[in-house]
Amino acid sequence: MRFQDVTMALDRFWAERGCVIAPPHDTEVGAGTFYPTTFLRALGPEPWRVAGIAPSRRPADGRYGDNPYRFQYYYQYQVVLKPSPANIQETYLASLYPLGIDPGAHDLRFVEDNWESPTLGAWGLGWEVWMDGMEITQFTYFQQVGGIDCAPVSVELTYGLERLAMYLQGVEHAFDVEVAQGVRMGELRADFERQHCRYNFEHVDAELQRLLFERFEGETNRLLGLELVHPAYEFALRCSHAFNLLDARGVLSHTERQGYVQRVRRLTEACAAAYLMPRLSASASASEEA
């Protein structure tokens, strides 16, 4: 099964279960959880179902393409369901069939894994899903997002697309995965990966990124003052990415690093509050009228 057949099969599966198949967001993010369609939509009472491929960047995780599993740019397949439905585990297992995986023919486990994102003020409980000893999916019930208790609770499923495809195709490096007929992942990403690794580790202009962080931070706060939550959140994401680049470049001391984490967290929490509050008061006055 080719890589793009995997994502299309997942799109179809989750579309049939009421999900919006959302295109990738166009601001750099560290994981699908940062997508506004996850982070913001996990807040508040409205039901929400979304799925789709989520390209993500973690500059410090790059290995110049040498390691078969670790990249600074990679794909997740992200599913968010709010409220988390009963029997979601069974639904998840059913999603493996279209990929050609019969759970009954493997040793599949739900192994405890608790998740926390200090920059998002978020945490949740759930599992890593292991197939024959390999982690293929992360499964999280959000308890808090942006420092706000989730009610109702969303469940987030994150498939590790590269490793699933490697397994399905029996290849040992993500760059050997066939994406479309005759086209391998390495053709699309190997140069991109090496060059970005050189940039992240060797050539990030730290002064520029520190400056950008300051300016993006100020911009987030200015936009929040204008009640422009969505643009504000994008600038918060840019702060997060600037911080990730500084971190990969290795110019942050431990204390400085903690300071940046706190600053990103304050921004994302402010965005979460600004996103949620008007809608909560709206629904409160609606229920008073009713």
Partner 1 sequence: MPTLLFEIGTEELPSWYVAQVETALPALMGQRLASAGIRHGALRSFATPRRLAVLVFDVGSRSAQREEVRRGPAASAAFDEGGTPTKAAIGFARASGVEPSALRVEETERGSYVFARREVGGEDVAELLPALLAGVVRDLPAPRKMRWGSHDLAFVRPLAWLVALLDDQVLPLSLTGLEAGRATRGHRFLHPHAVELQHALDYPDALAAADVVADRAVRREAVIDAACAAAAAAGLELQRDALLEAEVTDLVESPSAILGSFDAAFLDLPEAVLSTVMIHHQRFFPTRRDNGGLANAFVAISNNRVPDDSVVRAGYEQVLRGRLDDARFFWDADRRETLAQHAWALAGIAFHKELGSMADKVARVAKATRRLADLLGASKEEAATLKQALPLFRADLATQMVYELPELEGTMGCAFARAEGLPESVAVALEDGVLPRGPGAGLPTTRVGALLSVADRLDTVVGFFAIGRRPSGSADPFGVRRASLGALRTLTSQGWRVPLKKVVEAVAGSFTAPLAEAEVVAAVEAYLWDRVAGLLADEDLPAMVVRAAVQGSRSVIGAARRAHLLQALLSLPGFADLLTLHKRAANLAKQADAALNVRPGLFRDPVEAPLHDALPQARRGVERLMASARKQLAPWDLGRGPNATLTDLDAAVAEVVRLKAPLDAFFEGVLVMVDDAEVRANRLALLAEVAEALSDLGALSQLEAVAER
Residue ranges that bind partner 1, judged by CB under 8 A: 68-69, 83-87, 89, 103-112, 114, 124-125, 127, 131-134, 141, 143, 150-153, 155, 167, 253-255
Q: How far is CA 195 from CA 65, 71, 141, 198, 246, in A?
A: 10, 12, 36, 5, 17
Measured from the CB atom, the residue of 12 and 109 that comes closer to partner 1 is 109
Q: What b-and-e string marks burial along 199-217, b requiring 16 or more CB atoms within 10 Å of the CB? A: bbbeebeeeebbebbeebb
Measured from the CB atom, the residue of 90 and 202 that comes closer to partner 1 is 90
Q: How far apart are alpha carbons 283 and 114 in whole angstroms? A: 32
Measured from the CB atom, the residue of 15 and 153 that comes closer to partner 1 is 153
Amino acid code (one letter) for 201: F
Q: How far is CA 286 from CA 43, 254, 276, 281, 289, in A?
A: 18, 48, 15, 8, 5
Minimum distance between the CB of residue 164 and partner 1, rounded to whole angstroms? 12
Neighbours of 238 (CB within 10 A): 19
Measured from the CB atom, the residue of 68 and 186 that comes closer to partner 1 is 68
Element housing 265 (H / E)? helix 254-289
Measured from the CB atom, the residue of 107 and 207 that comes closer to partner 1 is 107
Minimum distance between the CB of residue 69 and partner 1, rounded to whole angstroms? 7
Minimum distance between the CB of residue 264 and partner 1, rounded to whole angstroms? 20
Minimum distance between the CB of residue 204 and partner 1, rounded to whole angstroms? 19
Q: How far is CA 95 from CA 89, 99, 253, in A?
A: 10, 7, 43
Measured from the CB atom, the residue of 162 and 217 that comes closer to partner 1 is 162
Minimum distance between the CB of residue 251 and partner 1, rounded to whole angstroms? 13
Minimum distance between the CB of residue 114 and partner 1, rounded to whole angstroms? 8
Place of tokens 């110049």: 64
Minimum distance between the CB of residue 236 and partner 1, rounded to whole angstroms? 26
Measured from the CB atom, the residue of 101 and 236 that comes closer to partner 1 is 101
Amino acid code (one letter) for 285: S
Q: Is the dihedral of CA 267, 80, 172, 74 positive or negative?
A: negative
Q: How far apart are alpha carbons 122 and 12 in whole angstroms? A: 29
Q: Are 64 and 53 a contacting pair, CB within 8 Å? A: no
